[in-house]
Each structure stands twice: as structure tokens, then as C-alpha cells.
Structure 1
Amino acid sequence: MSGAKEIKDRINTIKNTQKITNAMYLISTTKMRKAKNEYERTKPFFDMLNQEFSRMLRRVDSVDSSYFYTDEEKMGEGGAGREVCAIFVITADKGLAGSYNSNVIRETERLMKKYKKTYLYVMGEVGRAYFYKHNIPMVESYSYPAMDPSLHIARKTASAILTGFDEGLYKDVFIVYTNINGITEVVERKRILPLNRRRFLERIGPGEDSYENYEFYPSFTDVIDNVVPMYLAGFIYGAMIDSFCSEQNARMTAMNSANDNAEEIMSELSVEYNRVRQAAITQEITEVAAGAKALRRKKKKKTGEAVS
């Protein structure tokens, strides 16, 4: 059994660790609130862009654009048997967030097994460190942190992905990120290129299609091809914000669990400390009582010898 001093030192150590976890919990709360506020300022623009994009697609029977699936490719289902794809992966820059990073990496590896070759655009130091350690090639020119999601980074990401798509390096583009579903984090895997016209048409609700016909200049394809980069940047920015908020939520959950565990351990240590302390006090009292008893015996013995 440990001594009272050792137990007291352990309790003090846990209290100091608890101060750190409490601070990390509060920091994550602040970061998540700030990121949501930034996203809310830009969300109306991209919501309107999606609506107009859907309305434009409704005015034509088919889309002759390299950014959309053709009719022969079954409206985007099944990937049309392609062998090369690009994957934009969003991880965190650090750990202490439960299974947040491992879930994203696991989903990415499952997707990679379906293609013979993949171009990885990895955001976040944890993801880059993992793929580098396992000798999985990444697009070296792409290296952005995940701790500060911004529209500027989303636009540069969309531009980098579209450049490879336009050059014919790959014909399928996916994004793997984390979204908050209620109070839990869920890994999302979505195909962002080629686009599926049918899914845009399904977004139009009742009463949203009352506008007059559009006139496209110089052509419908040119207009669509110019709108796609903005749409893609908005989607990526939303995914970055969702991932960042999910990371902070996962870290808050991990820190809250650490605090609960610390409270439980301190409770057990307090009981053990009181037991050891009580045992020490009892031993001291026993020793004092035994000493007093011995002194009384010695004094009584000396008194008896003096009388005789």
C-alpha cells in the first residue's frame, strides 16, 4: 500500500492534469462557436448559389459538360468502372480527439481499395503523418492546416482539384470528412465530381421554380463551367467547417471523459488516503497508549520496591 505522501502527490498531479483538460474543453468550445459564426456569414451566398444552380439545370434536358455525368454513365451511379480517383481527406492537426482521425483514415483506406490509383489531397497534420508513415503517396504540392478553415483555402483546394480533373489525371473526385449528427460525429464520404444533374433537380422544392426561362451567354456549358468552381469551393468550405466543428466536439467529449475519469480516480484515492491516514493515526494512538501503559507499570514497580 502506498504511503499518505505518495497518494497526496498523485491527487495533486491529477488535479493539475484536470486543469489542463478543463482549459482544452473551454478552448474547443470557443473555437467551435467562432467557426460556426464564420460559416453562418457565408452560408446564405452558397445556399442561393445552389438554388440558382438547380434552376439553371432544370432549363435543359441534358448537360454537355465534363463536370457532369453523361447519360451513358447511369446518372453518376457506380463510378462508371473508372480506375483512378482523387480523394480530399480532412483530418485534424493534432490528436486528443478520441477516434475522430482514425475513423476518417479508415474510411479513406476503404475507398482507396476500390481504385487502382488514387491522388490524395490531405488536409491536417495527423492525416499527412499517417499516410507518410505508411508510404502512401500524396499530392505534395497540397499542404494546408485544418485548424483555421477559411474560404480562401477552400477556393485554392477547389482550384487544385479541378486542375487535375481538367488535365485528365482522374475522373472521380471524393471528399472524406466528419459531420456532426446530433451529438455524435459521423464520417461522410461523398462524390463531388462528376456532378449528378438528377440530384440537383431533386433539391428544388414546391414554388421554387416560378422564374422565367434563363438566357445563357455565351452558352449554357460556359456558364455552368464557370459556376462549378464556386459551387465546389462552397461545398469544400462547408465540409471544412463541419470537420473542424466535429473535431472540437470530439475533443470536448474526450476532455469531458478525462475529467470524469479524473474525478473517479481522485475519489478512490481520497478514500485510500483517508484509510492510510486513519491507519497511521490509529497506530500513533496505539503506540502512545502502549508507552503510557509501560510508564505506569514502571512507576508502579518502582513504588513497590520503595515500600518494601
Structure 2
Amino acid sequence: MAESMNEVKHRIASTKNTRQITEAMQMVQTVKLNQIQGQTATYNEYVAKIKAVVMHLAESHLLDSQAPSKTQDQGKKGPTAYLVITSDRGMVGSYNSNALRGTNRFIADHTPNADDYVILAVGGTGADFYKKNGANVAYEYRGVSDIPTFQEVKGIVKTITQMYNDHLFSELYVCYNHFVNRVRSDFRVEKLLPMDRESIEQSMSGADGAGASIKTEALTAEYEVEPSEQEVLHAILPQYSESLVYGAILDAKTAEHSSSSMAMKAATDNADDLISSLELKYNRARQAAITTEITEITGGQEALNH
């Protein structure tokens, strides 16, 4: 009985130590979540402006010149690329599994042949998963900051755009978890390349938050562009690409911190339940041991009296 009580006592101490760790991690992730939500609010002001400009360009048909002709489209060959955003670490609940499951479903529906797609992975979990499963991982980026900076994303966008210009793939989809609130995130897919009027309008209609509130006034005349339409497009579209990728990574990181915070809260609650159960078990064992000792003492006293 003594050994059993010692084992239970050791498990209680061990569980309490684990609980302290999970509670501290929950607090850290909550702070990071609050910080990134503050940054997201600032970013939304910028992205609302850039998306409004791009929507005006789309409505005024300036983007039609960017769309490939049917002949060009038929002659353009290359795999589809999927930019998959996951975390670099574990202890984030179902965050990674939801992102990978959603991506796999989308790939199965659109490019079931493994030779027809490549993976561009932002986050070590996604990169390792697709490498392990034999997928063609053409690009990976690890170590995204907990609060991502715009400068980080510019490098990612530059590399991906160069790969597209080098015809390593023909179209690009961004796959990630969208932060809805602190207890929920939804999987989302957005088409990034080629950048034409149709894909931009789909992105606008599919977005929420800042994107959903974008409304453009009715255009009564076409734009008068100086020095040229191409100069305007060359200036605006790269910023639009950067804003989409940065917004997706920022959104995904927000969902990651939220999922991690919820996972650590669940772990802490489970530790509390386990501690209560172990303490009850320990008290019962201790009470049984005391009762046994009293019985033995009483029995010995009676034997002496006789």
C-alpha cells in the first residue's frame, strides 16, 4: 500500500508540473494572439485600399490585358502549385491537420494526378508531410515569425513569382486556415496566379473582414492612364500579390496562435481533472492505510489484554 501511495503521489507532482507548463504556454499564446490581432487591424486598413484600387482596375477592364488568350492558355503547360501554410511546431491542436486535410481534398478534386501539381510549403509541418508522402515539394520556407513582418513575405512572394515567370508552374493556389474567432478557424483556398480579372473578382467575393467591406462606386468613364496602363499594372499588381500572401500568412498565424492557446487550455483543464482524480485516489489509499494500521493496533491490544 505504501508503494502504491508513493506512486500516486509522484504522479500528482508530475501532473502539477505539466499543468504549470501548459498554463504558462497558454498565457504566452494568448499574448501573441492579442499582438497579432492588433497588427491585423492595422494591415486591414492597407489591404482595403489596395484591394479597392485593384477592384476599380478590374471594373474598368484594365486587367483584361493581363488575361491570357485562349490560344495562349491552351499552349501554356505546367503543373498547378499549391502554397500550403502550416506551423513549424506542434502543440497547436488540430490546426495543421485541418490545413493538410483541406489541402488534400482540394488537390484530389482539382489535380488528382501527382505529376500535375507541386507543393510550395510555408511551415515545416507541411513541408515534412508532403516530402514523407512523396509529393514534389518545389519550395519550402521555415521559421516564419510569430508576428510575421511584411518584409518576410516580400522575399517569399519574389521567389514564388520568379518560379511562375520561369514556367515552373502554370497557376498557384494559396491554402491555409482562416481565423474566424478564438474558438474557430476555417480552411480556405484562394487563387493567386495567374492574376486576371476573374481570379481577382473571385478573391474579392470570397474574402471577408476588410475584403468583404470593399465597395467601389459605379464607374462612369474609363481610366485615363499616364504614362501607360502597363506602368500602372506593374506598380499595383505586385503590391496586390504581396498583400494577398501576407494576409494569408498573417491570417494563418492568427489561427495558429488561437489553436495553440485552445490546445494548451484543454491540456491544463485535463491536468486539473487528472490531479483531482489522483488526489482522490491518494486520499482513499491513505485512509485505507490508516484504517489498516488502526485495526492492527486494536487487534494487538486485544491480544495483549487476553
Q: CA deviation at 1:155?
A: 1.4
Letter in 2 for 1:109: N
Structure 2 CA distance for partners of 1:204 and 1:69, relative to 1, 3 Å = farther
Distance 1:242 1:290 in 2: 72
Distance 1:232 1:152 in 2: 13
TM-score by length of 2: 0.84
Q: CA deviation at 1:69?
A: 5.9
Letter in 2 for 1:143: Y
TM-score by length of 1: 0.83
Does structure 2 retain, via aligned residues, the 8 Å contact 1:87–1:174? yes
Instruction: Indicate yes or no: 2:127 matched with 1:118.
Output: no
Counterpart residue number, 1:139: 138
Structure 2 CA distance for partners of 1:82 and 1:107, relative to 1, 3 Å = farther
Q: CA deviation at 1:215?
A: 2.1
Kindly provide the CA deviation profile for residues 27-79 of structure 1, in whole angstroms up to 9, marking residues without a partner as x. 111111222222333332221111111112222376111xx465x59xx9xx9
Structure 2 CA distance for partners of 1:248 and 1:204, relative to 1, 3 Å = closer
Kindly provide the CA deviation profile for residues 119-156 of structure 1, in whole angstroms up to 9, marking residues without a partner as x. 3221111112222223322224x423234422112212
Counterpart residue number, 1:302: none
Does structure 2 retain, via aligned residues, the 8 Å contact 1:91–1:146? no
**The structure with more radius of gyration:** 1
Does structure 2 retain, via aligned residues, the 8 Å contact 1:122–1:143? yes
Other structure's SS at 1:94 match = coil
Counterpart residue number, 2:175: 176
Distance 1:204 1:272 in 2: 57
Counterpart residue number, 1:11: 12
Distance 2:303 2:62 in 1: 109
Distance 1:228 1:98 in 2: 36
Does structure 1 retain, via aligned residues, the 8 Å contact 2:57–2:63? no
Structure 2 CA distance for partners of 1:152 and 1:268, relative to 1, 3 Å = same
Letter in 2 for 1:252: S
**Where does structure 1 lack aligned partners over 5 or more consecutive residues?**
298-308
Counterpart residue number, 2:208: none
Letter in 1 for 2:236: V
Counterpart residue number, 2:49: 48
Q: Which aligned pairs between 1:53-72 and structure 2 lie closer than 5 A? A: 53-60=54-61, 63-65=64-66, 68=67
Structure 2 CA distance for partners of 1:131 and 1:220, relative to 1, 3 Å = same
Other structure's SS at 1:92 match = coil
Counterpart residue number, 2:95: 100
Counterpart residue number, 1:84: 79
Q: CA deviation at 1:96?
A: 0.9
Counterpart residue number, 1:37: 38
Structure 2 CA distance for partners of 1:81 and 1:262, relative to 1, 3 Å = farther
Kindly provide the CA deviation profile for residues 95-128 of structure 1, in whole angstroms up to 9, marking residues without a partner as x. 1112211222223333444333323221111112
Q: CA deviation at 1:221?
A: 3.3
Other structure's SS at 1:178 match = strand
Kindly provide the CA deviation profile for residues 221-272 of structure 1, in whole angstroms up to 9, marking residues without a partner as x. 3422331111011111111111111111111111111112112211211221
Kindly provide the CA deviation profile for residues 152-171 of structure 1, in whole angstroms up to 9, marking residues without a partner as x. 12212222222122223322
Q: Decide which moves more: 175-184 or 203-212.
A: 203-212
Does structure 1 retain, via aligned residues, the 8 Å contact 2:82–2:175? yes
Distance 1:292 1:112 in 2: 80
Other structure's SS at 2:64 match = coil
Kindly provide the CA deviation profile for residues 177-207 of structure 1, in whole angstroms up to 9, marking residues without a partner as x. 1112232121111111223525178779667
Kindly provide the CA deviation profile for residues 256-302 of structure 1, in whole angstroms up to 9, marking residues without a partner as x. 111121122112112211111110010111111111111211xxxxx
Report the count of equivalent residues: 289
Counterpart residue number, 1:303: none
Distance 2:165 2:54 in 1: 21
Letter in 1 for 2:104: E
Other structure's SS at 1:174 match = strand
**Where does structure 2 lack aligned partners over 5 or more consecutive residues?**
206-211
